[in-house]
Amino acid sequence: PGGLARPRRGWPIAGGVLVVAGVALCLEGVQRWREFGAAIGAAAIIIGLVLACPWLAGAAGRLAPLLPLPLRLAVRDGARNRARTAPAVAAIMAAVAGITALAIGGASDFRQEQIEYQARLPMGSALVRPPLDRADAVGEAVRRDLPGVPVVPLKALPGPDGICTSDDWAQCPTVTFLADRDTNASFDLMDNVVGGAREARMVLGHDDPAVTSALDAGKVVLFRASPPSSGTTTAKVFYWEDDKEHTIRTIENLPAVVAPGDPHVRAIVPPKVAEKIGLPVRTEAFGIDRTDHRVTEAEQARLDKTLNTFTKDDGSVYVERGFTGSFGKITLMLAGAAAVLALGGALIATGLASADARPDLATLGAVGARPRTRRLLTMGRAAFIAALGCWLGIAGGLVPGIAVTHPLTTAPEQKSATAHRTTVPYTHLRAYENVY
């Protein structure tokens, strides 16, 4: 009968060849074709396992003597009727393999995001960026929303990354302080903050006596730069037009020091030095120092709503809470999808098997088998199909999942970040083991 047919001898061999080729494609193809190499390799592995499923179902039947009677009968029945068992196992295997690869790739990418994350502000501090033409009104609104909380206006000299509110770039001169800069800097929150000890504490997150002393002495404090050999720096005022830099003037011999750390500003400039540069100082943000107050999520929502009354695009409210991303919901969705597919395939196959196995069940009843034994036999068929499909799927998805992490994690967006490589969501994979 069809259910007892043996698999063609060439199929397991062809399947094994495809699996080996798929593994090689995953490991080598990802170097050339990145994610596409892993996808092609995964397809080859899954097709190979599908071809080998009848043989694997039969091979699994050799474990039957080690199992209790109901499971022993269920495994032997599944192995004997492999033409009926193999399609269900293959369907579950393909689904679980794809989900396993996605879970490993997603978990590794998520871990890389954690590594690449850089705090914009000292932990717990907040910053409100207003539209430049309505900064004063926004500042008043922020103070109303946070009554009794000290709000620090952060004034700045326009820098290379600043905003130009005119269509004529010649009307938007900027200033930079010449120094050997660290090229690994990822971004600047603000360019050149103008102020003293209060502004420095807001930017740094703590009082720094050396920085405070330098600002009190009228020295420019530079960040992410090499110490100036002469103890001075040069301010260059310029603008861009027609993709060319046009220097307006330079102010030489400005006393300067370099401070450690990366507060994501280029420099803190004493007010008297800012006057010498001759550019308008504008309020670019309002800060809430973490030592004064920690903005709650409800307060942040209120500030967002208030800011939206002034602008939809030109402002922002940011509270530094560290990395807040989560992969838990995605993991649950993937696990749920795999469980539904596995259970659905197993139940369908079990229903078909139960219809064919009515004579066997009748025989068990005739020889005095308890109803519990017959129920366990039916459940055992479902467990055998689901467990075999899930285990094959996990095995088939591991290599593509590990391979796809290479393009996801070896080119970190932040220059200073370190590639993390692979994260295997063991909790996700153990869920299949516990269920089946």
Give the distance from CA 111 to its chain's centroid.
Answer: 6
Is residue 263 domain-shared with residue 390, that is, in the same domain? no
Is residue 135 domain-shared with residue 112, that is, in the same domain? no
CA dihedral 302, 303, 304, 307 (to 10 degrees): 130
Is residue 108 domain-shared with residue 129, that is, in the same domain? no
Local structure of 315: helix, strand or coil: coil
Among 345, 353, 349, smallest CA distance to 73 is for: 353
Domain-located, residue 198: yes
Is residue 288 domain-shared with residue 170, that is, in the same domain? yes
Is residue 157 domain-shared with residue 289, that is, in the same domain? yes
User: Pick from 270, 301, 320: which residue ends a domain?
Assistant: 320
Question: What mean pLDDT is predicted for residues 316-328?
Answer: 87
CB 394 within 8 A of CB 374: no
Is residue 274 domain-shared with residue 348, that is, in the same domain? no
User: Pick from 320, 347, 374: which residue ends a domain?
Assistant: 320
Its pTM stands at 0.70
* Total count of residues recorded for the chain: 436
The region of weakest confidence among 219-228, 300-309, 333-342 is 333-342
The pair of structure tokens assigned to 336 is 């749920």
Task: Count how many domains the chain has.
Answer: 2
Is residue 315 domain-shared with residue 340, that is, in the same domain? no
Is residue 140 domain-shared with residue 278, that is, in the same domain? yes
Domain-located, residue 61: yes
Per-residue pLDDT band for 2 (boundaries 50, 70, 90) equals very low
- Measured distance CA(5)–CA(84) in Å, rounded: 10
Domain-located, residue 405: yes
Higher-confidence position of 433 and 160: 160
The residue behind tokens 């602008």 is: 311
Backbone angles phi, psi at 423, to 5 degrees: -125, 120
Partner residues linked to 193 by β-bridges: 156, 268
Number of H helices, E strands in the chain: 14, 10
The residue behind tokens 């027609």 is: 242
Per-residue pLDDT band for 206 (boundaries 50, 70, 90) equals very high
What burial letters (b/e) apply to 344-375, b meaning 16+ CB within 10 Å? ebbeebbebbbeebeeeeeebeeeebeeebbe
Is residue 372 domain-shared with residue 235, that is, in the same domain? no
Percent of the chain with pLDDT over 90: 39
Domain-located, residue 2: no
250: domain range? 125-320
Domain-located, residue 302: yes
pLDDT for 36 equals 85
The region of weakest confidence among 77-86, 191-200, 393-402 is 77-86
- Measured distance CA(116)–CA(209) in Å, rounded: 30
Looking at residue 321, the DSSP 8-state letter turns out to be -
Is residue 136 domain-shared with residue 283, that is, in the same domain? yes
Domain-located, residue 1: no
User: Pick from 320, 352, 379: which residue ends a domain?
Assistant: 320
Domain-located, residue 385: yes
CB 386 within 8 A of CB 346: yes
What are the pLDDT digits (tens) for 54-105? 899 888 888 888 888 777 877 887 788 777 788 888 888 988 898 888 888 8
- Measured distance CA(127)–CA(138) in Å, rounded: 12
Is residue 363 domain-shared with residue 423, that is, in the same domain? yes
Is pLDDT at 434 greater than 50 in this prediction? yes
Which DSSP string do the residues of 143-212 spell out, in sequence order?
Answer: HHHSTT---EEEEEE--TT----SS-GGG--EEEE---B-TT----SEEEEE-SHHHHHHHHSS--HHHH
Is residue 164 domain-shared with residue 275, that is, in the same domain? yes
Q: Element (H or E) spanning 38, and its range? A: helix 35-60
Domain-located, residue 66: yes
Mean pLDDT, the chain, rounded, equals 83
Partner residues linked to 265 by β-bridges: 190
